[in-house]
Chains A and B, each alone.
Chain A
Amino acid sequence: MKLTLARNLIGLSAVAMLAACATKEQPAAPVTNNAPAQPPVTTKAPEPVKAAIDPLNDPNSALAKRSVYFDFDKYDIRDDQRATVDAHGKYLAGRGDRSVRIEGNADERGSREYNLALGQKRAEAVKKALEVLGAKEGQLEATSNGKEKPKATGHDEASWAENRRDDIVYKGL
């Protein structure tokens, strides 16, 4: 059981809850009423039938992918990972109330501290890409787990490839 919660986690949970209660006008929202003459509603609890599903919770959305993978000794975003980065960048640009911690990882080989820095380099790459897509600095924190929290625990290239990875962790969810 965790002994303490980060103060920023508690603060952002409160913000996230307030955001969920407010209805936002989304020009391209799939579920909305067809009465543009009506003034926008800004502070009303969402009606269950017409409420938009937060795409973050949609398993079919590109946002369901929270990991970005890297090649060995590489710290730039691979072509086949761009769709994931783009989806999160655009989402964050539209949801100023959402913030993420981008956690970089490195495979198991070598010094723990140097691997922490390599994981950090991967996290910074995704952070910069999200900023280019419109996310704000205040919504983004790049950190590293180095080789301390491997997802795959084998000692082969398949495991190492799995661990050369950033995880996008939404705060307050």
Chain B
Amino acid sequence: MTNMTRARQFFVGLVACLAMAAHADITIDIVGPGGNQLPIAIANFVGEAGLKDALTPIVRNDLDHSGRFKLVDPSGATLPADGPPPDLGSWKGRGADSLAIGDVRIGADNNYDVRLRLYDTVTLKLITGVQIHTATSDMRQAAHQVADVIYEALTGERGIFETKIAFVVKKGSKYELQVADADGFNAQEVFGSREPIMSPTWAPDGHRIAYVSFEQQKPIVVVQDVYTGSRNIVANFKGSNSGPTFAPNGHTMAVTLSIDGISQIYVLDGGSKRRLMQTPAIDTEANFSPDGGQIAFTSDRGGSPQIYLVPATGGNAQRLTFEGSYNVTPRFSPDGKMLAYIRRDGGSFNVATFDMTTRQTMVLTEGPGDESPTFAPNGKMILYATQVGGRGVLATVSSDGRVHQRLSTQGDVREPAWGPFPNQLPMSRLSSNP
């Protein structure tokens, strides 16, 4: 099934919510300076008048809000991607080290072809050129993909503009699980309830989300396909069911159950349930390592909540955190080399990282009420929940702590979860000569 068909199903399934979510609920403010910014000019894409979503502003916003680029004013230049623009060198004079030009045309099957060419204004050479094939309803994704191509070409890192984020919004007495583009736009309601929702977490396939729902007046774990809308209750044992997380294989899950009289971690596989450890204390917040071999978790077996590591098959757990009396919510980075977590220092709850090799910790945020850290799939940014003026908001911090951004939101937002890299729209390389 192509992304187009999946996106169409998603659209159909949530058509009532789309009308309400048509405008952006979340915008991004950048707080604090970034490192060296790469100066780039992005010309207006030719042919985007009349499209449901114009490409150029999305590409510009993505690169601008990453904090890694300085956008140079293209002064209204609209340049087709047919070939090298005249006066490429003059763009260097305007302060841009690179120039992006592009266009949108109707393709053979009445869908659209988006072309991008990215030039180096110093060497006057083509850095990269691509053609992306898309349907109208996917134009946002095509724009994000263009931004990702530019980002990767100039930084060497994979971009995250095409990815999705999930989060919970509390609006009065109603709770909504929403999924939005990584830029915060295009938020769609996936599930709504008068009872609390917590702990959303993505399956590796980027289609399913597991979460905790109180719809039966107690916490149970549900897995929902955000494109088809189908829901399965995967844990409704006696007592509380929470803390869901997927193993990298996409079907094994770990959850926290109180079925044996105290909160413990269980591994669910097919129809089977296996208690991971026999601890006479709380074990919770399981998180699989990217290779699936280990599980990081929170336990207060030592008298205070700390982070531990255990083989996914069970066995002896090893304590990781030794500073302070409250270290919780461990989340592996995509390369497995680091954990993001929450630590309490003098009453303030802050986002921190733990280096799995050196065992060193670094505090990244100032709190006082930071929660739920989640890594971008390129490992470069951490999204988390915090409060401003008594209201829940989302924020990001780069994994080295240098770039901070806040997402302005409506309502009381909490519990973010960053989705995996999606399948890209079909894309082919363009040569230097058209």
**A contact set with B: CB distance below 8 Å:** 1-4, 6, 9, 101, 103, 109-114, 116-118, 120-121, 124, 141-146, 148-149, 169
Residues from chain A with Cβ under 8 Å of B305 in the complex? 111, 114
**B217 in the interface (beta carbon within 8 A):** yes
A145–B218 CA distance with the chains assembled, in angstroms: 7
**B344 in the interface (beta carbon within 8 A):** yes
Q: List 16 extra interface pairs beyond A2-B215, A113-B284, A114-B329, CB under 8 A.
A: A3-B215, A111-B305, A113-B242, A113-B285, A113-B329, A114-B284, A114-B285, A114-B300, A120-B239, A121-B263, A142-B239, A143-B258, A145-B214, A146-B219, A148-B198, A148-B214
How many residue pairs between the two chains, A and B, have CB atoms under 8 Å in the bound complex? 100
The 8 closest A-B pairs by CB, nearest first: A117-B263, A148-B196, A143-B218, A111-B328, A117-B282, A6-B216, A120-B258, A144-B240
**B contact set with A: CB distance below 8 Å:** 193-196, 198-199, 214-219, 238-240, 242-243, 256, 258, 261-263, 282, 284-285, 298, 300, 305, 326, 328-329, 342, 344, 349, 371-372, 414-415
Which of B193, B215, B239, B326 gathers most chain A CB within 10 Å? Answer: B239
A70–B272 CA distance with the chains assembled, in angstroms: 36
A29–B89 CA distance with the chains assembled, in angstroms: 99
Among A4, A103, A111, A145, point to the contact of B215 (Cβ < 8 A).
Answer: A4
B178 → chain A closest CB, angstroms = 17
Q: Are B194 and A2 in contact (CB under 8 A)?
A: yes
Q: Known: A110-B328, A110-B344, A116-B242. Is A121-B215 also a contact (CB below 8 A)?
A: no
User: Who on chain B is nearest to A169 by CB?
Assistant: B217
Q: Are B194 and A120 in contact (CB under 8 A)?
A: no
A110–B256 CA distance with the chains assembled, in angstroms: 17
Among B195, B240, B414, point to the contact of A120 (Cβ < 8 A).
Answer: B240
Among A6, A113, A143, point to the contact of B243 (Cβ < 8 A).
Answer: A113
Among B261, B298, B349, B415, point to the contact of A124 (Cβ < 8 A).
Answer: B261
A6–B233 CA distance with the chains assembled, in angstroms: 13
Q: Are B196 and A145 in contact (CB under 8 A)?
A: yes
Q: Are A111 and B285 in contact (CB under 8 A)?
A: yes
25 A-B contacts (beta carbon < 8 Å): A1-B194, A3-B215, A4-B215, A9-B217, A110-B344, A111-B305, A112-B199, A113-B198, A113-B243, A113-B284, A114-B282, A114-B284, A116-B198, A116-B219, A117-B258, A118-B282, A121-B262, A124-B262, A141-B239, A142-B258, A143-B218, A143-B258, A145-B219, A146-B198, A148-B198
Among A3, A101, A124, point to the contact of B258 (Cβ < 8 A).
Answer: A124
Residues from chain B with Cβ under 8 Å of A149 in the complex? 196, 214
Residues from chain B with Cβ under 8 Å of A144 in the complex? 219, 240, 258
User: Who on chain A is nearest to B236 by CB?
Assistant: A6
A85–B190 CA distance with the chains assembled, in angstroms: 41
Residues from chain A with Cβ under 8 Å of B216 in the complex? 4, 6
Residues from chain A with Cβ under 8 Å of B199 in the complex? 112-113
Q: Are A6 and B217 in contact (CB under 8 A)?
A: yes
A145–B195 CA distance with the chains assembled, in angstroms: 10
Residues from chain B with Cβ under 8 Å of A121 in the complex? 262-263, 282
Residues from chain A with Cβ under 8 Å of B258 in the complex? 117, 120, 124, 142-144
Residues from chain B with Cβ under 8 Å of A143 in the complex? 218-219, 239-240, 258
